Amino acid sequence: MKTTLTVLTVAALLLAGCADMKNIGPGAELRGASELGLPAVADPQALSPAADWWTNFGDPQLDRLVAEALAGNPNLRVAAARVNKAQAGVAFARSADWPQVNGELSLNRQKFSSNYIYPAPLGGSVQNIGNLQAGMGWELDFFGKHSGELLAALGQVRAAEAERDAARVLLTSNVVRAYLQWARLLGQREVAERTLTQRQQMLGLVQDRVKAGLDNQLEVRQSETGRADTRTSIAVLNQQIDASRNALAALMGQPRLPDGIAPPKLTQFKPMAIPGELSADWLGRRADIVAARWRVEAARGEVQVARAQFYPNINLAAFVGVQSIGFDNLLKSGSMQWGVGPAIKLPIFEAGRLRANLRGKSADVDSAIESYNATVIDAMRDVSDQSQGVRAVALQQSEQVRALRAAEGAYDIAQQRYKAGLGTYLHVLSAETSVLAQRRQQVDLEVQALLGQVGLAQAMGGGWQPSPEHAVLQSQVNAH
């Protein structure tokens, strides 16, 4: 038995040398940190937002909404289910390294042919046949098939874990965005309601001037148009507010917002400082980048499996049990049977199927590598865009503050002239129009500034902390 196995192994190794895999393999290369121009830093934590970065806005109600969304969002549960499925794949791959044992019991009543190989009295008779047997099979992994399957499965599960975490980062960012948009719409409606009051006052003054013969119906119609436009704007804002509440509830996995959620106000948010400098360490702090990196490892495992298929498949098989004609003889010692031996299977002519399969798996590696490179480039662009956006909004805010002060100054002058009898109240209301326009812009810019901070926090990784397995894998790319 031992001699037979040795002969088969030697023969398999000799035949393996005939495997033709020339000129087939991945050609793409991962783009490392140095190639991307990312410097190393002494304190990587300083360049990453906190895991609960949204708490820096100082709104306990927002913290509650984020927590409930993380607990109840259906998409996160889908991502978690994908992780569980990938983990099952790892367990399946690991099982291939061990012998597989199964049992069989069959009890049959059979009529034997009189015109076959069985002579009388067995031929032509009806007999009870029993078979009780245990079998074992063990596929020996001399050429890396099982290890390739395990590498692919581990890559899939790590990628699924990182994608689940990326979904969490995206969800928290979207909850904060929806909450800020709700606050923006409320602020816009507040300004619109004050505008409506002003337009009504202006209409009343114009009507009084018409009665006094100082104006004509044209001014009345223009004032009525302005009031109607403002009412339309308020109706649109109310619809958008309801939609923003529904969007926020959907992110939380609920049909409507929970009771007790108060409308947010922009004045309650504190600004949040987010670093914008990139480093080599950042590559491992974006869950989507790490997920793409693990997809490369999974594809490489599939290539290893495809290469192993060129080589012999060696199995050890054994069985032991009892078999008899007549159930009463089944458990007697003479019914014992057993067998053991190796088996070898080698592809000799497969019409190019294995080369085509290897070529396809190699192309999958190239695709995964280029997808990783594209993910990194897109992420770097995202950080750059968010950083530039934050700076641009800050500049706009500084200019808008000056414009608001100027409009408020003109409004104060109009009031003083009115009180001194040098102007009409219509001039006061006209001056207030500029103030209200600047306050609408102020609301928009305040929310844009906060949304920019959210976008930058997400682009910098959203506070995601990689596991040791993720960190070790990414360090290989950083050092590339």
CATH code, 387: 1.20.1600.10
Q: How far apart are CA 142 and CA 257, in angstroms?
A: 59
Is residue 112 domain-resident? no
Residue 86 has pLDDT above 50, yes or no: yes
Q: How far apart are CA 289 and CA 159, in angstroms?
A: 10
Is residue 405 domain-resident? yes
Identify which of 285, 380, 291 has the alpha carbon closest to the alpha carbon of residue 41. 285
Identify which of 338, 337, 317, 335 has the alpha carbon closest to the alpha carbon of residue 101. 317
- For residues 338 and 17, the model is more confident at 338
Q: How far apart are CA 286 and CA 34, in angstroms?
A: 17
Mean pLDDT of 249-264: 90
Is residue 68 domain-resident? yes
Is residue 333 domain-resident? no
Amino acid letter, 349: F
**For residue 26, cis peptide bond before it (omega within 30 degrees of 0):** no
Using 50, 70 and 90 to split pLDDT, how confident is the model at 449?
A: very high
pLDDT given for residue 375 in this prediction: 93
| 9 membership: H or E segment, kind and range | helix 2-16
Is residue 257 domain-resident? yes
Q: Do 243 and 428 form a contact (C-beta atoms < 8 A)?
A: no
Q: Which residues pair with 324 in a beta bridge?
A: 130
Q: From residue 215, how far is each of 196, 203, 379 by CA, in Å?
A: 22, 12, 61
Is residue 464 domain-resident? yes
Contacts of 181 (CB under 8 A, 6+ apart): 244, 447
Residue with tokens 């308020």: 234
Identify how many contiguous H helices and E strands the chain contains and give both numbers: 9, 4
Q: Do 59 and 183 form a contact (C-beta atoms < 8 A)?
A: no
pLDDT tens digits, one per residue of 349-369: 777 888 888 889 899 999 999
Q: From residue 42, how far is each of 118, 279, 280 by CA, in Å?
A: 85, 10, 11
- Is residue 239 classed exposed, middle or buried when 0-12, 13-18 and 19+ CB atoms within 10 A define those classes? exposed
Mean pLDDT of 443-450: 93
pLDDT given for residue 473 in this prediction: 62
pLDDT given for residue 42 in this prediction: 47
pLDDT tens digits, one per residue of 291-322: 999 999 999 999 998 888 888 888 888 889 88
DSSP 8-state assignment for residue 114: T
Residue 241 has pLDDT above 90, yes or no: yes
Identify which of 269, 249, 177, 245 has the alpha carbon closest to the alpha carbon of residue 455. 177
Helix segments in 252-352, DSSP class H: 287-308
- Is residue 182 classed exposed, middle or buried when 0-12, 13-18 and 19+ CB atoms within 10 A define those classes? buried
Q: Do 466 and 284 form a contact (C-beta atoms < 8 A)?
A: yes
Specify which of 83-87, 239-243, 267-271, 436-440 reaches the highest per-range mean pLDDT: 239-243
Amino acid letter, 116: Y
pLDDT given for residue 477 in this prediction: 52
Identify which of 31, 27, 34 has the alpha carbon closest to the alpha carbon of residue 376. 31
Contacts of 337 (CB under 8 A, 6+ apart): 133, 319, 320, 321, 322, 323
Using 50, 70 and 90 to split pLDDT, how confident is the model at 233?
A: confident
Residue 7 has pLDDT above 80, yes or no: no
Question: How many domains in the chain?
Answer: 1
pLDDT tens digits, one per residue of 105-151: 999 999 988 888 888 888 888 999 989 899 888 888 888 888 888 88
Q: How far apart are CA 240 and CA 245, in angstroms?
A: 9
Largest distance between two CA atoms of the chain: 135
Least confident of 15-24, 58-67, 206-215, 331-340: 15-24
Domain span including residue 386: 2-18+33-97+141-311+346-478
Is residue 114 domain-resident? no
Is residue 318 domain-resident? no
Q: How far apart are CA 193 and CA 234, in angstroms?
A: 7
Least confident of 169-183, 205-219, 263-277: 205-219
pLDDT given for residue 262 in this prediction: 92
28: helix, coil or strand? coil
